[in-house]
Amino acid sequence: MNNEEQAVHVERSINRGFWKKEMVGWIKTTIIIVIIVMVIRGFFFTNYIVYGQSMMPTINDGERIIVNKIGYEIHTPDRFDLIIFHATEDTDYIKRIIGLPGDHISFKDDTLYINGKSYEEEYLIQIKEDHHDGIFTNDFTLEEVTEYSTVPEGYVFVLGDNRQNSIDSRQIGLVKMDDIVGKANLAYWPIKGFRLF
């Protein structure tokens, strides 16, 4: 083997070694990224596809959303948060928190009252304008739809934004905080509907 052939052989060996190291590096990086994504998805965030019209117009049928699973480990839920919770063993619902522990809830003349104070539900302005059949949320009190006069500790009272087409605490009762999966943070699909909640 002459000097020129030896040089080519050495160069090929160096190139093979370089590409081998590069491939191993890329494979390690990919494995680490996959593990990080799985950990983040498993413990911190998850995604859901929303089925049904109970949260329209805030969230539409078929939209994909990201849910923060760790937030409520750090702090308690806030009034008007959008939450995912286990409604049954096989089904999760998305609804809006209306009542927190200690709250008395009532609706009169399409107005929300919490502990006797009226609240304007700004997130319902558009759907109320589009709703031409009169009252959007029928009158009720917490006592009429549950066995409680105030929301007990460890529970929340939830409603869907589409009040005429929602199965919520008026039918299924109060939601245990332990059954809350997390807070809906954003819609990401379809892409034109990308927004933070």
- pLDDT digit string (tens) for 79-136? 999 999 999 889 999 999 999 999 999 999 989 999 999 999 988 887 777 766 677 8
First to last CA, the chain: 71
Strand order across the beta sheet in which 140-141 lies? 117-119, 111-114, 105-108, 140-141
27 pLDDT above the threshold of 60? yes
pLDDT for the residue numbered 4? 55
Least confident of 5-9, 85-89, 104-108, 179-183: 5-9
Q: At 102, give phi and psi (nearest 5°).
A: 95, -10
Long-range contacts of 108-112 (CB under 8 A, 24+ apart): 108/139, 109/135, 109/139, 110/135, 110/136, 110/137, 112/137
Beta bridge partners of 86: 92
Q: How many CA atoms lie within 13 A of 133 on its CB side?
A: 6
Which residue did the predictor score with more confidence, 35 or 138? 138
Share of the chain above pLDDT 90, in %: 42
pLDDT band of residue 14 (cuts 50, 70, 90) is: low
Ranges of H-type helices in the chain = 3-39, 71-74, 125-130, 142-145, 169-172
**Active-site annotation holds for 21:** no
Which among 13, 21, 54, 169 is annotated as catalytic? 54
pLDDT for the residue numbered 196? 82
pTM of the model: 0.76
Token duo for residue 118: 């009226």
Q: Give the containing element (helix H, strand E) for 67.
A: strand 64-68
pLDDT band of residue 43 (cuts 50, 70, 90) is: low
Q: Give the containing element (helix H, strand E) for 113.
A: strand 111-114
Share of the chain above pLDDT 70, in %: 82
Q: Which of 46-50, 53-57, 140-144 has the highest mean pLDDT?
A: 140-144
How far is 132 from 117, CA to CA, in rounded Å? 26
2 pLDDT above the threshold of 70? no
**Active-site annotation holds for 118:** no
What residues have CB less than 8 Å from 141, skipping those under 6 apart?
Answer: 104, 105, 106
Which among 21, 69, 95, 118 is annotated as catalytic? 95
Which residue did the predictor score with more confidence, 45 or 117? 117
Q: For domain 50-196, which architecture applies?
A: Ribbon (2.10)
Residue whose token pair is 């460890």:
154
Token duo for residue 139: 């009158």
How far is 102 from 152, CA to CA, in rounded Å? 6
Closest CA to 163 of 196, 133, 194: 133
17 pLDDT above the threshold of 80? no
pLDDT band of residue 16 (cuts 50, 70, 90) is: low
